[in-house]
Amino acid sequence: MASSMAATACATATALSPSTATAQRPSAQGRLVFPAAPPAPTPSGSAPPAAGRLGQPRYSLPLGLRLASVVVAALADPLKVMISGAPASGKGTQCELIKTKFGLVHISAGDLLRAEIAAGSDNGKQAKEFMEKGQLVPDEIVVNMVKDRLLQPDAQENGWLLDGYPRSYSQAMALETLEIRPDVFILLDVPDELLVERVVGRRLDPETGKIYHLKYSPPENEEIASRLTQRFDDTEEKVKLRLQTYYQNIESLLSTYEDIIVKVQGDRTVGDVFAEIEKLLGSSLEKKTEVVSST
Ligand code: AP5
């Protein structure tokens, strides 16, 4: 119930464009600022009392308008989520589902780096050297790249879903300095022995970006199967190095978000994992909506 209510609020929120909701550009804190509603004309022609804060008008609004202000307020502070976990724990797979359901902007540090590699940029060339060794790409390359994407208007207006970032204490601190904090930090927990199998069986569709697994999520038909590709770091040898890097960094990272971490068992079916995440994010969104509507 909670999730369906929140999903309704979310769907309504994402359906409204910021301009119809009279939103301004994001403020320095990354939040949208909504100006007070213009005074409604009164039958006598006298100006009504000025509107109070959102959801708390000093004069009575029709019910429809009051509901609308709640939805607008929800847009003013959209959902912000981080998802973390070992290599192949299912972050990308869950992000696709979260993005579709909640309309968040998916920002994957790994995808941004692969885009730099594909573009042949200097950053891409440097990044590839580290990625091939299963190591973290240096902060000089990653931090600004992710920050810039995060501060784009679409992410600020619709909310964001940060996948695989931050991955170290220094990256977390870079966000804290900018007062960029999620509402929820999801940690996907999958036993190591499953991760290698997931990595070596992973395939990607270069046309749709969809993630497949030869055993667990095989391609729908021969045509798709024939065009699937494999990531250069998806070998047994490299995933072991990536896993080592993950364990070297994860503890220090978690301390930054300990009050908002939710551990989700990722060794279940994709659907079961998502059902838990959907419930979690639904209730998080509902809480945000309630807070805003009661102020
Ligand atoms: P990145 O691309 O982020 O790789 P990763 O963290 O190793 O995670 P993966 O993308 O491998 O896995 P995933 O958890 O998304 O799993 P997926 O859903 O695809 O980073 C690559 C490299 O870039 C790093 O090694 C580093 O060098 C660099 N980098 C990235 N971020 C950085 C940062 N912040 N700082 C510095 N450097 C950075 O699923 C995997 C497979 O399992 C798929 O085949 C899928 O179909 C299958 N699967 C998923 N869920 C299930 C399930 N529930 N049951 C069965 N199969 C499943």
Could you read off the pLDDT of 87-115 as tens digits, one per residue? 999 999 999 999 999 999 999 999 999 99
3-class DSSP assignment, residue 169: helix
Q: Is residue 28 part of a domain?
A: yes
Backbone φ, ψ for residue 81 (5° rounding): -135, 140
Catalytic residue (one of 149, 203, 238, 242): 242
* 265: Cβ contacts below 8 Å, ≥ 6 apart: 189, 190, 273, 276
Catalytic residue (one of 167, 198, 238, 288): 167
Specify the residue for token string 């749709």.
208
3-class DSSP assignment, residue 39: coil
Closest Cα to atom 12 of ligand 1: 88
CA 231 / ligand 1 centre spacing (Å) = 10
Q: Is 137 in the pocket of ligand 1 (CB under 6 A)?
A: yes
Q: Which range of residues forms the domain containing residue 25?
A: 2-75
Residue scoring higher pLDDT (162 or 54): 162
Catalytic residue (one of 101, 147, 181, 231): 231
* 21: Cβ contacts below 8 Å, ≥ 6 apart: 34, 71, 72, 75
Beta bridge partners of 211: 204
86 in the same domain as 70: no
Give the pLDDT score at 39.
34
**Is 231 in the active site?**
yes
**Is 25 in the active site?**
no
Distance between CA atoms of residues 109 and 164, nearest Å: 6
Q: Is residue 277 part of a domain?
A: no
83 in the same domain as 71: no
- Write out the two tokens for 92: 């990308």
Q: Is residue 65 part of a domain?
A: yes
Segment 108-141, tens digit of pLDDT: 999 999 999 999 999 999 999 999 999 999 999 9
59 in the same domain as 128: no
Q: Is residue 96 part of a domain?
A: yes
120 in the same domain as 50: no
201 in the same domain as 56: no
Of the candidates 44, 75, 106, which is a domain's last residue? 75
Catalytic residue (one of 80, 91, 149, 203): 91
Give the pLDDT score at 225.
97
Of the candidates 35, 52, 75, which is a domain's last residue? 75
Selection from 5-9, 15-19, 277-281 with the highest mean pLDDT: 277-281
223 in the same domain as 168: yes
The pLDDT-based confidence of 84 (bands split at 50, 70, 90) is very high
Residue scoring higher pLDDT (43 or 277): 277
231 in the same domain as 150: yes
Q: Is 69 in the pocket of ligand 1 (CB under 6 A)?
A: no
Residue scoring higher pLDDT (72 or 192): 192
Q: Is residue 35 part of a domain?
A: yes
263 in the same domain as 127: yes
Closest Cα to atom 34 of ligand 1: 165
125 in the same domain as 255: yes
Candidate from 136, 149, 175, 214 with most ligand 1 atoms within 8 A of CB, to mutate: 136
Domain tally for the chain?
Answer: 2
Q: Is 145 in the pocket of ligand 1 (CB under 6 A)?
A: no
Q: Is residue 279 part of a domain?
A: no
**Single-letter amino acid code for the residue at 174:** A
Segment 45-81, tens digit of pLDDT: 333 333 322 233 333 434 444 444 444 444 578 999 9
Give the pLDDT score at 41.
35
235 in the same domain as 202: yes
144 in the same domain as 120: yes
Q: Is residue 168 part of a domain?
A: yes
Of the candidates 75, 100, 126, which is a domain's last residue? 75
Give the pLDDT score at 130.
97
Q: Is 124 in the pocket of ligand 1 (CB under 6 A)?
A: no
Q: Is 285 in the pocket of ligand 1 (CB under 6 A)?
A: no
112 in the same domain as 31: no
- Write out the two tokens for 87: 């290599």
Burial (CB count <10 Å: 0-12, 13-18, 19+), residue 201: middle
Taking the model in full, what pTM does it have? Answer: 0.78
Name which of 67-76, 143-152, 239-248, 254-263 the model is least confident about.
67-76
Q: Is residue 227 part of a domain?
A: yes
CATH of the domain at 91: 3.40.50.300
Distance between CA atoms of residues 139 and 145, nearest Å: 9
